[in-house]
């Protein structure tokens, strides 16, 4: 359930950033596309893996999803770097 909220939050953030697309067209299009794509990928993968993970937890053979956590962290750090750039440099 938390992955669903994370994907939805990324889609909302992408929609919110469209407001600044006029001031920073290239940068905002890249950030909005990255966030929207990330949010959609999270939603699609979450729907597919939910049943599989539920049965793996019942069988006590579940492994942590470190790749997804790492990629999400890298994406959020990247968005933070863009925000830092916009506040300090631009």
CA end-to-end distance (rounded Å), the chain: 37
Mark 29-46 as b/e (b = at least 16 C-beta within 10 Å): eebbebbbebbebbbeeb
Is pTM, for the whole model, over 0.85? no
| Spatial distance between the Cα atoms of 85 and 90, rounded to a whole number of angstroms | 7
Closest CA to 6 of 51, 41, 31: 41
Domain range for 71: 2-88
pLDDT above 90 coverage of the chain, percent: 17
Q: What's the total number of domains in the chain?
A: 1
Question: What would the pLDDT profile of 26-61 be if each residue is shown by its tens digit?
Answer: 888 999 999 999 889 888 888 777 777 777 777 878
């Amino acid at each position: 359930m938390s992955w669903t909220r994370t994907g939805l939050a990324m889609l909302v953030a992408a929609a919110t950033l469209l407001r600044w697309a006029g001031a920073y067209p290239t940068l905002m299009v890249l950030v909005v596309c990255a966030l929207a794509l990330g949010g959609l990928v999270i939603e699609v993968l979450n729907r597919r893996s939910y049943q599989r993970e539920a049965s793996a937890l019942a069988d006590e053979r579940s492994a942590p999803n470190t790749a997804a956590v790492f990629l999400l962290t890298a994406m959020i750090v990247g968005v933070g770097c863009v925000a830092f750039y916009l506040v300090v440099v631009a």
